[in-house]
Amino acid sequence: MVPFGSVLSLYPLSLSLILTHIDRRILACHPTTMKLLEQTRQTCRTKHYSPRTEGSYTRWIERFLRFHREAAGQWIHPRDMSAEHVEAYLTYLAVRW
């Protein structure tokens, strides 16, 4: 397995994009009623991001969630994920690509 630091050196912004794709201030009023991808879309629209950027962010989130579903055999809620989950996904991307 590739050390976490080396993965971050390859993709320095990846971790911050995955962990901060949702602005907590904007979504504070809807944390339980909106699903993750809906929250992401709403945040992108509020920040006036391009529709292509919005689509890219949501697709990467979907890939991240699918990766862990296939690894664990079941869906894992993002709230239950830790830094190890992000590390495993970034390592997978670094090795695969």
Distance CA 18, CA 81 (A): 12
Answer whether 0.85 is exceeded by the pTM.
no
Task: Tell me the C-alpha to C-alpha distance, in Å, between residue 72 and each of 59, 62, 63, 75, 89.
Answer: 20, 15, 14, 7, 13
Quick one: pLDDT at residue 72? 86
pLDDT at 86 over 90: yes
Quick one: pLDDT at residue 14? 52
Distance CA 23, CA 43 (A): 7
pLDDT at 7 over 70: no
What the chain holds in terms of domains, given with CATH numbers, is: 4-96 (1.10.150)
The token pair at 71 is: 């690894």
